[in-house]
Amino acid sequence: MSFRKAAFLVLIILMGSGVVQAASLHVGMPAAARNKGRLPENVRAPSAPSTPTGPAELDVGESGTFGTGGAMSMRGYKVEYRFDWGDGTYSSWGLGTSTTHDWMSAGTYAVKAQARYKAQPAEAVASSVLNVRVVIITGAEVLIPAGNFNMGDALYATPIHVVHLDSFYIDKYEVTFDQYDAFCAATGRAVPSDNGWGRGTRPVINITWADSNAYCAWAGRRLPTEAEWERACRAGTNTAYCFGDDPGPLGTYAWYDSNSGSMTHPVGEKAANQFGLYDMHGNVWEWTADWYDSGYYGVSPLNDPPGPASGSYRIFRGGSWCRSSGHLRSGTRSDYEPGYSSNDMGCRCARTP
C-alpha cells in the first residue's frame, strides 16, 4: 500500500471516529483540482429533498403548487431542483424550490423531486416521491370573467349579435349520475335510468327541464342562461367550435356520433376548452334556463339577456353522443317541450358570484 493510500485510509478511520474535521482533507490539494467535476471533500452530497409537498388530490386540469421541501445549500454551493410529474421525464434544473403543474387526465401520478449542487452536476443527486391522485371532482366550477362576445351562428342562429355578460360561475363538467343520485336520495325524487351504460361519473341522462332546474337549485346553483352557456362554450372564440371552423379536430374535444360507440362517456375524458370546461361540445345536450323564441336574437338586450319571458319550449345546447358535427357547433340552438327527456340530454349548473 502506498503512503498516499495508507494516509487516506487513516483519515477515513479518524473521520468515522470524529477525531478529524472534514476540512482537514484540503491539505495539500490545489483548489482548482478539488473543484473540477466533483464536490470538494468538505462539502457533503445534498441531502434528499424531503417528500415533495403539495396537494395529494387535484381535479383534472387544476393547477397544484409543489415544493421540494428544500435541501440545504452548503458553504456557498447552491442547490438546484427538478421535478418529474409522473411520466418519467424530468423538467429542467432550476433554483426554485416550488413549481406548479396540472394534469389533463385522471390517474395517480408519482411526483419526484431531485436535488443536486449547481456547480457539480455529476454528483450527489438525491430524490424523493409524492403520489398525487388526479380525479374528477364533481361540483368543480370555473369563474367566467365579465365580457362581450358575439352570440349566434351564421348558418344556424341569426342574427349574430353582441352580448355583454357579468361574471358567472359554471360547472366544469356536465352533472354526473353521482351528483344527481345524491339529489334523488336526499329528496326522494325518482332515479333516472342510465340506459344500462353505468352511473358514477357518466353524465346524468333522462331528465326533464324541471328535473335539471330542481337539481341545480338543490345544489345551490341554477341553470345557465342560453347566453351564459354559449359564452362558456365559445371561451373567447368566434368560430364554429371552440377550436376553429373545421370540425376535423372535434374528436379531441367531444363525444359525438363518429366516436361515441352510441353511448355517453364519463365526463372530462376529452380535452377542455380555453375556459377549462369539459364536454361543452357533445356527450349530452345541456338544458339551459331560457324559453325558445325564434325572434329573440333580433331583440335581445345587450346586457345579461334573460331569454324570453315565456314560451312553450326550453333551449338546450351543445349536441350529444348521437349527433353529427353540425349539432355540436357553439352557436347551434335546439329546443324541446320542457317535460321531454331523452338518453342524450342532461345539464350543467351555473351560479352568480
Contacting positions for Ca ion (CB under 5 A): 279, 283, 318
Peptide bond connecting 55 to the previous residue in cis, omega within 30 degrees of 0:
no
Closest approach of Ca ion to the CB of residue 224, in Å: 12
DSSP 176: B
DSSP run (H or E) holding 107: strand 107-117
Residue 280 Cβ, how far from Ca ion at the closest point, in Å?
A: 6
Q: Shortest approach of Ca ion to residue 319 CB, angstroms?
A: 7
Q: Considering the complex, what minimum distance in angstroms separates the CB of residue 305 from Ca ion?
A: 21
- Exposed/middle/buried for residue 259 (C-beta within 10 Å: 0-12, 13-18, 19+): middle
Choose among 173, 47, 64: nearest CA to 115: 47
**Of residues 261, 251, 256, the one with CA closest to residue 323:** 256
Minimal distance, residue 282 CB to Ca ion, in Å: 6
Surface-to-core class of residue 29, CB atoms within 10 Å of its CB (0-12 exposed, 13-18 middle, 19+ buried): exposed
DSSP conformational letter for 154: T
Residue 59 or 279 with smaller CB distance to Ca ion = 279
Residue 127 vs 320, nearer CB to Ca ion: 320
Neighbours of 64 (CB within 10 A): 18
Cβ nearer to Ca ion, comparing 71 with 207: 207
- Decide whether 55 or 251 has the Cβ nearer to Ca ion: 251
- Are 121 and 115 spatial neighbours (Cβ–Cβ below 8 Å)? no
Query: Residue with C-alpha cell 428544500?
Result: 70
CB of 131 to Ca ion, least distance (A): 32
* Residue nearer to Ca ion on the CB measure, 226 or 279: 279
Q: What residue has cell string 482533507?
A: 25
Considering the complex, state which of residue 132 and residue 328 has its C-beta at the smaller distance from Ca ion: 328
The cell numbers describing 130, all together, are: 409524492
Query: Would you say 268 or 318 has its CB closer to Ca ion?
Result: 318
Q: Which is nearer to Ca ion, 68 or 283 (CB)?
A: 283
Q: How far is CA 240 from CA 129, 154, 254, 256, 277, in A?
A: 44, 9, 14, 16, 17
Q: Give the integer Cα–Cα distance in Å for 276 and 316.
A: 21
- Minimum distance from residue 335 beta carbon to Ca ion (Å): 16
Which residue minimizes CB distance to Ca ion?
318
Q: Is the preceding omega at residue 159 within 30 degrees of 0, hence cis?
A: yes
Answer for the pair 312, 337: CB distance below 8 angstroms, yes or no.
yes
Compute the least distance from the CB of residue 284 to Ca ion, in Å.
5
Q: What nine digits make up the cell of 22?
A: 472534514
Instruction: Taking the CA atoms of 308, 310, 312 and 317 in sequence, report the sign of the dihedral they define.
Output: positive
Q: Which residue has the cell 391522485?
A: 133
CA 253-254-255 angle, to 5 degrees, is: 150
**CB 77 → Ca ion: shortest distance, Å?**
54
User: Residue 318 Cβ, how far from Ca ion at the closest point, in Å?
Assistant: 4
Q: Which is nearer to Ca ion, 201 or 283 (CB)?
A: 283
